A and B are shown apart, each in its own frame.
Chain A
Amino acid sequence: MPPLPSPPSVRTVTSALARETAVTAGLLLAASVIVFALVRSAPGDPVDVQLGEAGGIGLSHADEDRIRAERLAELGLDRSIPEQYVRWLARMAGGDWGTSYRSGQPVLTEMLDRLPASLALGAAGFAVALVLAVALALLASRRPDGPVDQLLRLVTLATVAVPSFLLGTLALQVATGAVGYRIAGPATVDRLWLPALVLGLAAMPTMSRVLRASLIAERGRLYAVAALARGASPGRTLLRHVLRPATAPVLILGGLAFASLVTGSIITEAVFTWPGVGLYAVEAISAQDYPVVQAYVLLATALVVVVNRGVDLGARLVDPRGDASAEAVA
């Protein structure tokens, strides 16, 4: 095993932290512009939705135009897009995430109310993905390109090929009939397992394949061969020497996967009526509830960027050469 470098100095850590913070802030600012532009470039606006739902009220063109103008002014949507952006950014920076057009509730309150459900689902999905990935990778790496490896490759490919909405719908159908799975309701443990399983299955293939590659690479290294030559059993060599270094790239990948699972489980939350931020976002999108959509996308972006940069920084601090994980992932 190559010698590990000496721990970084305090100055190095501080400098790296400052640089990462600046880069992260810049990324978030850029993301905020893109988010705002994308949300506002979608066809229609919240007033369209409101008027559209009020079918049957005998409005003349003049009445409709007047109501539209009044409502747009009330929501601040009659201002120019750059002005709206600056005002929104200033409010966000001050901790005011705005108010939902539909419920009249502060967006931050509604987000915080739903975030634990999404975090629970993301964490449970991640756990499922990790357990399955480790198990399949251990099996597959025992004999690279052997029958078991080929079979598991097929399984992971098939899993990654099935769209999550289809997997979710099928799972829901089976579980409802077989074990009486409760489809709607609050975020409880008895409802968590199924969406977590679906989410975990979707995230498992990449982690499994990376871990497999890493295990095979580590098994071929000198220290592992030496352990075997000294008479250690393959199982002991795997558990005591190979598994830990081989898991490092998976944990880096896992950090990113976790962020994606928490914020990117929109479809799973919608299929399972799981009351998290993803479902909240879906409903906001259909109602063109700009403050909610913008806050959600920015939150998701922030989480991914922060985790990404954090993992990056951690990896560089632990091993400034940054080659071990890159090699395994490649």
Chain B
Amino acid sequence: MSRTLTAIVAGLLLLTACGGAGGSGASGGAAPGGELTLAVARINATLDPAESLTTSYLRSYGVGESLAKIQADGTVAPELAASIEQTAPDTWTVLLRDGVRFHSGAPVDAEAVRASLERTAAENELAANLLAGLTVTVADPRTLTVRTAGPSPFLDHTLAHYELQIHNVAAYQGRTGPAGPDDADLTGAFRVTGFAPERELTLERNPDWWGPAPGGTGVETITVQQVGDPEARAQIAAAGQADIVDLLPGSAVPELRAAEGLDLVGAPAANTVTVYLNPASPVAPALADQRVRQALAWAVDREEVAEIAGEGLTEPAASWLASNPAFPQADQQGFVRHDPALAARLLDEAGWVLGPDGRRAKDGQPLAFRLQTWGSEGPTGEVLQAQWDALGVTVELSYVDDTLVQQARERGDWDAQTAAFTTLGNVPSLFAVQMGPDGSGNYGRFAIPQVAGLVERANTAPTEQERAAAVLELNALHAEVVPGIPVHPRPQATAVADRVHGFVAHPLQYENLVQPGYTLDG
């Protein structure tokens, strides 16, 4: 019996290996020399950069590039473009780098870039939204002209978006099935050699990449393995079984900080965990009162939340824009301190007075609301609940699946929910999404008349300083009306082995996992 079972198991494993169930079969351990191993929460679902669940991953692993790139300080730098310049309020000129080629060797010229953007818009609804109203024309083999429907000072941010990676359209046409490693034809420093969806991606250095070669021992091959379980990723990092491990759970931070052979990098993300509020909630009518919303915001001790919920890997966000490194002034806007006295006064003014039981009430109704958290925001919700409880506010906290959060919103049956929009990109547009009358992120359907004018100013003001001033006014308006209470950027805990040099702590995680300039010890 046991001999039979042994034979069955051996046969099945052989079949597994033949069938490629384990991907390329590359080692999961930290390999010497020019091999880099990554253990990540998710890899791309396909190899087609026009698929929306694929693009950011391809960028993250150094396979794909866009015309521009958002840098760690929040500014935009040309990537495949040599320069991107606004030549008129509604016109941008893109000059491509000379001699850039796709992985197949095909030239990256203006016609190829235009075809790539057109295909992306046709195949990917979300990218189509980014490109809506744009007209791209080829001026010469290296030059594109991009015209917009109106003034667009932030188009360079749009062209840096991961959904707009430049790919060789010819390689993706005429396929009958999903793109395989041989079809993937992009421009990054690494090209695909093997792919098992949701399991493993293997890459090798692109010898024809346009950028400089790394000094010292550079990375020649990369194995990226998907490890969905956060605890397993933490163990991989602690055991040194991968060079770079992303999205580590907060519970593992103390152990990994003490672990030898790795550096735990905790760059706060360029997004702000915000508690969005519903002023139309029939359950919590107090949230319709701006003073109540402001009081809740002043009562948050952000230092404490960042320390406890973020395991010290994040920082307070006094205002929504504070997580955008390009606007350091935003740190001085909004709720710059923990002020429970001001919070109490605002609630008193609003009629929500403290009773002998330590709870606030008005006309016999307690000041209470429901807070839904999801994803990595569970601990944040718990700390906030305790802090608001100290103010005399009762918070019914629930940690749920994000789809339940969305459904509650669609039904209008919610009081407060956490969410974290990215703060990097076309900032006026991001504010419009949250505060504009038709914004999909304006969950509470706030009607704020000043928003349209400020967005207009942020887009059309003649100088960069004036546009930045309008953006900061939008940020101040957000803090005044409080459609949401900013708390902290999402922490990004990444373990990087000591033998890897050149890691850049970037507020966008998809920009930092694989750097072309990495060098390796041993």
Contact = CB atoms under 8 A, between A and B. Distances in A.
B365 interface: no
B9 A124 contact: yes
Q: Which of A50, A51, A59 counts the most B-chain CB atoms under 10 A from its CB? A: A59
A288 interface: yes
B197 interface: yes
Interface in A85-122: 102-105, 110, 112-114, 116-117, 119-120
Nearest to A112: B19
B225 A63 contact: no
B309 interface: no
Nearest to A102: B45
Contacts of A313: none
Given A44-B406, A57-B130, A110-B197, A62 B239 contact: no
B135 interface: no
B12 interface: yes
A123 B403 contact: no
B439 A61 contact: yes
Contacts of B200: 186
Contacts of B53: 50, 53, 102
Majority secondary structure of chain B interface residues (helix, strand, loop or mixed):
mixed
A8 B45 CA distance: 53
A71 interface: yes
Given A186-B17, A188-B13, A54 B430 contact: no
Interface string B1-40: 1100110111011011101111101011100000000010
Nearest to A276: B21
Contacts of B27: 182, 185
B198 A186 contact: no
A27 B198 CA distance: 33
A290 interface: no
B228 interface: yes
Interface stretch (B111-119, B230-238, B326-334, B386-394): B230-238
Contacts of B20: 113
A103 B271 CA distance: 28
Q: Which of B10, B45, B130 counts the most A-chain CB atoms under 10 A from its CB? A: B45
Contacts of A275: 21-23, 196, 199
Contacts of B46: 102-104
B125 A71 contact: yes
Contacts of A119: 8, 12
A184 B440 contact: no
A57 B163 contact: yes
Interface string B222-251: 000111110110011011011000000000
Given A116-B21, A185-B22, A186-B21, A176 B235 contact: yes
Interface in A163-198: 169, 172-173, 176-177, 180, 182-189, 192
A56 B227 CA distance: 25
B449 interface: no
Given A58-B433, A104-B177, A105-B197, A64 B227 contact: no
Q: Which of B9, B20, B29, B225 counts the most A-chain CB atoms under 10 A from its CB? A: B9
A80 B476 CA distance: 47
Interface in B458-489: none
B173 interface: no
A191 B5 CA distance: 17
B429 interface: yes
A2 interface: no
A61 B409 CA distance: 13
Interface residues of A, number: 67
A297 interface: no
Q: Which of B6, B199, B426 counts the most A-chain CB atoms under 10 A from its CB? A: B199
Contacts of A120: 9, 12-13, 16
B78 interface: no
Contacts of A270: 228-229
B151 to A, nearest CB: 16
A43 B404 contact: yes
B235 A172 contact: yes
A124 B404 CA distance: 39
Contacts of B178: 103-105
Contacts of A183: 28, 39, 227, 232, 235-236, 239, 241
A54 B126 contact: yes
A179 to B, nearest CB: 11
Interface stretch (A33-41, A201-209, A227-235, A278-286): A278-286
Contact of B198 (A48, A67, A272, A280): A280
Given A44-B403, A131-B2, A283-B198, A184 B22 contact: no
A211 interface: no
A273 interface: yes
A187 B21 contact: yes
A55 interface: yes
Nearest to B431: A58
B95 interface: no
Interface string B194-220: 001111100000000000000000000
Nearest to A70: B125
Contacts of B199: 186, 275
A48 B406 contact: yes
A60 B19 contact: no
A9 B52 CA distance: 61
Given A103-B197, A273-B229, A275-B21, A187 B16 contact: yes
A61 B425 contact: no
A43 B407 contact: yes
Contacts of B399: none
A57 B430 CA distance: 8
A130 interface: yes
B402 interface: yes
Contact of A185 (B225, B239, B422, B436): B225
Contacts of A147: none
Given A103-B45, A123-B8, A279-B228, A185 B440 contact: no
B432 interface: yes
B480 to A, nearest CB: 22
A49 B2 CA distance: 45
Given A63-B440, A192-B13, A270-B229, A113 B45 contact: no
B430 A273 contact: no
A52 interface: yes
B421 interface: yes
A172 to B, nearest CB: 6
Contacts of A50: 52-53, 126
A97 to B, nearest CB: 15
Given A110-B197, A116-B21, A58 B5 contact: no
B12 A59 contact: no
A104 B197 CA distance: 10
B458 to A, nearest CB: 13
Q: Which of A123, A127, A192 counts the most B-chain CB atoms under 10 A from its CB? A: A123
Nearest to B37: A184
Contact of B228 (A123, A173, A177, A282): A282
Contact of A127 (B9, B227, B232, B404): B9
B173 to A, nearest CB: 15
B456 interface: no
Contacts of A279: 228
8 contacts: A56-B424, A58-B430, A59-B129, A70-B125, A104-B51, A116-B12, A123-B9, A187-B16
Given A63-B129, A183-B241, 10 more contacts: A44-B404, A58-B429, A58-B439, A116-B16, A124-B5, A183-B232, A184-B236, A186-B22, A189-B13, A273-B232
Of all A-B residue pairs in the complex, the 4 with the closest CB atoms, nearest first, are A186-B22, A44-B403, A56-B422, A120-B12
